[in-house]
Amino acid sequence: MVKIVVLDDYQGVALSLADWSKFSPGTEITVLSHNLEGKQEIIKQLGEFEVISAMRERTVFSADILNQLPNLKLLVTTGMRNASIDLYAATELGILVCGTEGSAQSTSELTWGLILALLRHIPEENMSIRKGEWQKTVGNSLEGKTLGVLGLGRLGSQVAMIGQAFGMSVITWSQNLTEERALEFNAELVTKDMLFAESDVVTIHLQLSDRTRGLVGSKEFALMKSNAYLINTSRGPIVDEPALITALQEGWINGAGLDVYDEEPLADSHPLTALRNTILTPHLGYVTEEGYRVFYAQTVEDIQAYLAGENPLRLLNPAVLGRERNMKA
């Protein structure tokens, strides 16, 4: 009996968005719809499974945890990058780690949803009209404003082009960004300090790494205009969260639209939830039916290839080949 577990299916849609019936009758599939909190719960709940399907970075698979999952042979993550998985440890233990494709478009769409909701006070006006009130706020237009894009990769470039369609000027910065790359998207490469000082909206589209952790902090918030906004749909730890809370509480910046946080799920008692100048979403950047259909269909493909003894699909740790854990008898 091959035991498979699908993690973090919060919406209860995993089994309906792909054909899991392709597996043999000797395959047992378990779906967990709740978040596993802490190392001991992860080990306790997942110890029996040979195959784990993980949703993005919701569950941590550190070396310590992987060492205590003796039955694990295949770990599939949605997406082709997962900072919560220790790939070196997985390789040393002979665990195959495979990924899936995905779409960056959904995250750039959400980025603009947050920007528009903030500048036009959409959530507040939505609540007001339901209470019989009418036109309680005065919003801001995007045309003529400056959009500061941190990171001009696949996501950042999409966001930049949409900003230009709104009539915004786009400036950009990241540690390795070249002027040629910036000009390719009609953006102006500036210094980091200049980006924060001149932007009306700063939006983050960087990968989380040792270089980017805490990249946006008190210094950057002090440089920003008091009527400027910060958007983060990338990764929470890129922003110094306590510094952001201070900047919002003390009016250093006008507001923030956040889809990512230091710790997820965000606690209902978190200070950010008490701030009226924030719009908070629960890491929805990749959460679309279209994206999930790709995630789960390719997860099934990855598992099928493994069960058939074929070459792994979308393998994220190729050094593991030749040292895989033996299949159970």
Q: Which residues are catalytic?
A: 235, 264, 283
Cβ-based neighbours of 285, under 8 Å, separated by 6 or more? 106, 107, 110, 111, 233, 259, 260
Q: Give me the count of residues in the chain.
A: 329
201 neighbors 231 (Cβ within 8 angstroms)? yes
In the chain, the amino acid numbered 248 is: L
Q: Which of 45, 7, 88 is CA-nearest to residue 299? A: 7
73 neighbors 327 (Cβ within 8 angstroms)? yes
b vs e for 291-306, b when ≥16 Cβ sit within 10 Å of the residue's Cβ? bbebbbebbbbbbebb
115 neighbors 203 (Cβ within 8 angstroms)? yes
Q: Quick one: tokens of 290? A: 């279209």
User: Coil, strand, or helix at residue 126?
Assistant: helix
**Cα gap 195→191, rounded to integer Å:** 6
Q: Which of 241, 300, 263, 286 is CA-nearest to residue 103? A: 286
